[in-house]
């Protein structure tokens, strides 16, 4: 028997996926410098940390699985869709190269193309996959969540090269999600105080935040480089600031939506539905926005019209289309698993 869903978490996920698609719409529908767009800057201050915190909130159930079962489950959910979509993209590239460019296709060219497409596709899924495995090993090895959190974060920040560079950025947020679930009773006790404090902190830091501080512009380096026994502290002031603003923004929106969920809002049912399909929407919106919206790319228009009217409208349409495509795909168990990582219930 399934546990009843926690509705406000679905609302939070719906809000987060809207921010993702809105940010991508700003990025892909204009040739302007989107890193300087104020709404883009606002969204990218917190939206991926928010997603990872919510993922960490559900980590407790992963501890009930053996490592092998966890590996298979998360590989199916997070890595298999990347492989499938990469193969489909490569197939398209092969056809285009053979029949449009009239160039030969060698095995070396195919493997190089596959590697390139795989590395640039769905970095968040790869990061989340490793966060689950690293955290599981940490808890099982050290038998204490606080010790596991501290040591795994320390090791991947200072010592080991990360399989995905964004792990250094997102692993601490994953652990915050774990502790959010564990100490939810304390958070509920100080609900209003946390809401106000995080609002004030988030608002204050936003005054100094800019797009150049995102991990795309200023990634976190591995501190200790054993290849030449050197230390790298590049961008660490920015990294600390980025962590704090992501934390404050995420906790603020979690508390805000949790409190608003107690109200009977007409949009609640829609948010609940969208919140159940965030991973599927994340996958499908990538191809809708990158592959099919080129004709929609607009000539320079008023910046605020573009940012506050055109792109959020496109984002809502893309979310709706992605949802209905996901509903069609889920009718076939194999496609549902391979394309969306969703294991159909029998």
Beta-carbon neighbour count of residue 196 at 10 Å? 12
Task: Residue 44: name the closest of 217, 176, 271 by CA.
Answer: 217
Residue 2 in domain: no
CB 183 within 8 Å of CB 219 = no
Beta strands in 53-192 (DSSP E): none
Number of alpha helices (DSSP H) and beta strands (DSSP E) in the chain: 17, 2
| Predicted confidence pLDDT, tens digits, the chain (346 residues) | 456 678 889 999 999 999 999 999 998 887 777 888 999 999 999 999 999 999 999 999 999 999 999 999 999 999 999 999 999 999 999 998 888 888 888 899 999 999 998 988 898 999 999 999 999 999 999 999 999 999 999 888 777 666 666 888 899 999 999 999 999 989 889 999 999 999 999 999 999 999 899 988 887 776 666 666 666 666 788 889 999 999 999 999 999 999 888 766 666 788 889 999 999 999 999 888 876 665 566 665 677 888 899 999 999 999 999 999 999 999 999 999 999 998 766 5
Report d(CA 14, CA 282) in Å as an integer: 11
Residue 75 in domain: yes
Report d(CA 165, CA 168) in Å as an integer: 6
Domain span including residue 44: 7-340
3-state secondary structure of 225: strand
Residue 321 in domain: yes
Residue 346 in domain: no
pLDDT in tens, 291-331: 666 556 666 567 788 889 999 999 999 999 999 999 999 99
Report d(CA 144, CA 22) in Å as an integer: 39
Q: At what angle do helices 123-142 and 145-154 cross, to 10 degrees?
A: 130
CB 132 within 8 Å of CB 70 = yes
Report d(CA 28, CA 26) in Å as an integer: 6
pLDDT at 295: 56
Predicted TM-score (pTM) of the model is 0.91
Structure tokens at 253: 């929106």
pLDDT at 31: 74
HSE of 33, CA atoms in CB hemisphere, 13 A: 6
Looking at the DSSP bridge assignments, the partners of residue 89 are: none
Residue 178 in domain: yes
Residue 156 in domain: yes
Structure tokens at 267: 């949009």
Residue 314 in domain: yes
> How many domains is the chain built from?
1
| Distances in whole angstroms, Cα of residue 31 to Cα of each of 19, 189, 297, 300 | 20, 47, 8, 9
Residue 97 in domain: yes
């Amino acid at each position: 028997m399934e546990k009843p869903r926690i509705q406000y978490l679905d609302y939070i996920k719906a809000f987060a996926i809207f921010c993702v698609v809105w940010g991508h719409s700003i990025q892909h529908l204009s040739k302007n410098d989107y890193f300087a767009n104020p709404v883009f800057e606002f969204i990218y201050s917190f939206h991926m940390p928010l997603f990872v915190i919510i993922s960490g909130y559900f980590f407790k159930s992963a501890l009930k699985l053996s490592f092998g079962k966890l590996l298979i489950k998360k590989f199916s959910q997070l890595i298999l869709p990347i492989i499938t979509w990469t193969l489909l993209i490569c197939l398209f590239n092969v056809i285009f190269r053979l029949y449009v460019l009239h160039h030969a296709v060698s095995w070396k060219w195919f493997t190089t193309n596959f590697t390139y497409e795989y590395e640039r596709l769905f970095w968040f899924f790869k990061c989340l996959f490793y966060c689950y495995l690293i955290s599981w090993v940490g808890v099982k090895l050290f038998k204490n969540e606080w010790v596991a959190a501290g040591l795994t974060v320390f090791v991947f920040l200072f010592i080991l090269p990360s399989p995905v560079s964004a792990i250094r950025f997102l692993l601490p947020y994953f652990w915050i999600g774990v502790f959010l679930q564990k100490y939810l009773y304390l958070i509920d006790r100080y609900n209003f105080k946390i809401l106000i404090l995080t609002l004030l902190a988030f608002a204050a830091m936003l005054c100094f935040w800019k797009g150049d501080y995102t991990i795309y512009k200023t990634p976190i380096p591995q501190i200790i480089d054993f290849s030449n026994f050197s230390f790298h502290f590049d961008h660490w002031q920015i990294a600390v600031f980025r962590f704090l603003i992501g934390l404050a923004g995420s906790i603020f929106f979690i508390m805000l939506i949790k409190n608003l969920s107690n109200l009977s809002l007409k949009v609640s049912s829609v948010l609940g539905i969208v919140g159940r399909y965030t991973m599927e929407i994340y996958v499908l919106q990538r191809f809708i926005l990158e592959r099919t919206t080129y004709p929609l790319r607009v000539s320079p228009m008023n910046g605020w019209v573009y940012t506050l009217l055109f792109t959020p409208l496109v984002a809502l349409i893309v979310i709706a289309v992605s949802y209905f495509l996901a509903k069609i795909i889920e009718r076939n168990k194999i496609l549902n698993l391979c394309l969306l990582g969703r294991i159909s219930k029998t």
